[in-house]
Structure 1
Amino acid sequence: MKTTIFWMIQLGHMKWIPNNILDCFWRCFKYLIHCVHREDFPNFFIPQNNMFIHKVVGDARESLLRQLHQYYRMGVSCLLLSPTLRSILEPALSSPYYVLSSVEGEILSDLDICGMTEIIQLSFSSEDISKSYLYLKSINKLSRLSLSSYQLLTLQFCTAETLVRLAFIMTNRSSCCSHTTIYNLDILICGMLKMAARLGHMSHLLYLALYYYRTWRFDKTLHITHITKQRLSQAFIMYMETVDKQRYHKAVGNMPLSRRMKIAWVVDVRSVRKNVPFLEELCLEQFVKSTKRRHTLICITVYYGRDVVCVISL
């Protein structure tokens, strides 16, 4: 194993840090099996010297391969067969706060962080209902094309953002309508916000809570904030660039991108977007802030925003 470690260090494909030591061992172990299959294991200091020659051949090689394959099927847990390593590993593995590190988990979470950062920067400045419908029509046409998973995810996010914005534009313009019109608009707006919550990230669900609060349905508001609280308490949540990479990979690593965005991605909730207020109680603060510095929006962290909506609904 010492020579194997030397060769793997020279390759330079791994991070030799304490949190990654088990992953490094497993790569070294697979390299050793590969060398036994080839019957060639060069000495690190004298590469021309095959350390297996006249030693690992014939029946000895077959016996060694069977033993190595048995350890391979056991996985990293084969280390527990060693009394010395068992005394070191068992206390760590029995801890509920210990998470086995892996390079794949870091790569997945880093890619999702980059994707989320780019996607949430998209914005739509239209305050016109007709333009919002035009956005949705364009998104519908684009979704029929052959797109990558990240392109489809971007369209999904844009659809949710457009539905939220359109819903609150219609809400702000429905004050002077008849009761029948308001009732029909309410059904339409609730449908759009529920669709946005299904398509978008976890924070989109709070916009439905904001709408219920604005229409004095406080029981439904509290119900949604309770659901959001339960979802936000999960250990794999990705809030902006903050995430437990290993728990994230373990919980949602096998899920498609759209599903990962829905159950694990969390961003701030904005009280006003391009002069379209979502929460009227913060309109004054937004106005004061805009007079001091232009193009500034009040953003509420989703953890604090859930408590704000919950408290003002009581």
Structure 2
Amino acid sequence: MELFLELYGLYEKGIALLQQSHSVRSFTIDFFCNPRHCISFNQDSEDWEGMFDYELFREKSNNDAIFTQNINRCLHLLRSMETLINLRLRNYSNYQILMAQKLTVTILQSTAFMLHSRFANIANNKLIYKADKISCYMLKLAAKMGFVSDILYLVMYYYKTLKHKKARKVLEIANNKFQQPYLMYMSDVDDIKVYTAEVGGQSCSTKMQRVVMGDIRLSKNINYIDELKHEQRLIGHIEGNIDISPFVMLLMLEFLCYRQFYEYTAAIAIDNLKDLVEEGDFIRPCTRDIYWQILGICQQLQEDHCAALYSYIEAPRQDLFHNLKNATKLRIRSLYS
């Protein structure tokens, strides 16, 4: 019994017990004095931080699955998150706070588009103006709190509400952000040393806002832009979401926002989109079906029906991650109508 109590007393001391051993203390003192210090196993410590960050943000993205079927549900979730932030987050770990931040971004984005859909067709300009102002504020806040790529939701909203000048201005900002060498997308970073110099040792929240890219997720029950409404409605994926590479979404939005005003810029955007889809850079191989579909939509809007038909035929030949066969058939029929 005395031995058990002695051992349990050592157990209660926790990690501080290691400091009582002179031989162990010589190895651990550097770590306790410098939290950023890590033990390298034939690999640069910079790589370890990048690998950890990728796995962390991948986990947060996979767990970002809030079911926002209507605006009342969204408002309820927003109130819940507000209560959580005001009362409880101070007792949570950094990783729990990060998850709450990611979920809040998703709720804000869903609420903004649902709010617009609810008030878009009413005969009250004052209410429409107020709803639009609130939606813009939510999307700007989401872009500030979320991934670097979340700025594209604001571009979609501006395009959807015919604010093309504002959409193009935000696109320029997004273009500049997407070209930085320290961005992380699909476990890839152009220059890990630049990544570490930019955000090494900073909080997870700061990293999420400054360097992390994520797919643009379009929920089935929310109308983001009319050009993808058939794909959203006829998707055969069990979760009902469309996941689009931010680089593909950027080029699609560039084409849509410039095609009526600057044809040359729109043509460059669609050429870059074609190269991106064909080469497969920055694209998840299992989701290539939606990218051929998007390319076909843009080519059809450009009235290049032969190229659009080729793209629509290619879409079902890819891995049917989104299962867009019905949407593809509808698109092909529209070429001949």
TM tier relative to shorter chain? 0.5 to 0.7
Question: Structure 2 CA distance, aligned partners of 1:138 and 1:287?
Answer: 29
Q: How does 1:222-301 map to 2 (within 5 A)?
A: 222-243=168-189, 244-270=191-217, 272-290=218-236, 293-301=237-245
Question: Structure 2 CA distance, aligned partners of 1:164 and 1:126?
Answer: 10
Using structure 2 for the length normalisation, give the TM-score: 0.59
Please list the CA deviations of residues 154-190 of structure 1 after superposition, one character each: whole Å capped at 9, or x if unmatched: 1111111100001111112222221111011011111
Which entry has the higher C-alpha Rg, 1 or 2? 1
Moved more, 297-306 or 213-222: 297-306
Q: Is the 8 A contact 1:102 1:246 kept in 2?
A: no
Q: How does 1:66-105 map to 2 (within 5 A)?
A: 103-105=44-46
- 2:198 is paired with a residue whose SS is helix
Structure 1 residue 102: deviation in Å? 6.6
Structure 1 residue 142: deviation in Å? 2.4
1:9: which partner in 2? none
Structure 1 residue 130: deviation in Å? 2.3
2:83: which partner in 1? 141
2:156: which partner in 1? 210
Question: Structure 1 CA distance, aligned partners of 2:179 and 2:159?
Answer: 23
Moved more, 163-172 or 279-288: 279-288
Structure 1 residue 296: deviation in Å? 4.5
Determine whether 1:152 maps to 2:93: no
Identity %: 27
Q: Is the 8 A contact 1:125 1:274 kept in 2?
A: no
2:272: which partner in 1? none
2:249: which partner in 1? 305
- Residue identity opposite 2:203 in structure 1: P
2:126: which partner in 1? 180
Determine whether 1:168 maps to 2:113: yes
Please list the CA deviations of residues 234-289 of structure 1 after superposition, one character each: whole Å capped at 9, or x if unmatched: 1110013222433221211032221111110101113x304112122111123343
Q: Is the 8 A contact 2:108 2:138 kept in 1?
A: yes
Determine whether 1:110 maps to 2:54: no
Q: Is the 8 A contact 2:220 2:232 kept in 1?
A: no
Question: Structure 2 CA distance, aligned partners of 1:151 and 1:246?
Answer: 28
- CA gap of 1:295–1:154, structure 2 versus 1, over 3 A, is closer
- Give 1:130's match in structure 2, choosing from 72, 78, 87: 72
Question: Structure 2 CA distance, aligned partners of 1:183 and 1:288?
Answer: 32
- 2:119 is paired with a residue whose SS is coil
Q: Is the 8 A contact 1:129 1:166 kept in 2?
A: yes
- 2:241 is paired with a residue whose SS is coil
Structure 1 residue 204: deviation in Å? 1.2
Structure 1 residue 114: deviation in Å? 1.3
Q: Is the 8 A contact 2:220 2:242 kept in 1?
A: no
Determine whether 1:198 maps to 2:140: no
Q: What is the alpha-carbon root mean square deviation over aligned residues?
A: 1.9
Using structure 1 for the length normalisation, give the TM-score: 0.64
| Higher relative contact order, structure no. (Cα contacts within 8 Å, ≥ 6 residues apart) | 1
- 2:148 is paired with a residue whose SS is coil
For these two proteins, the number of residue pairs brought into alignment is 212
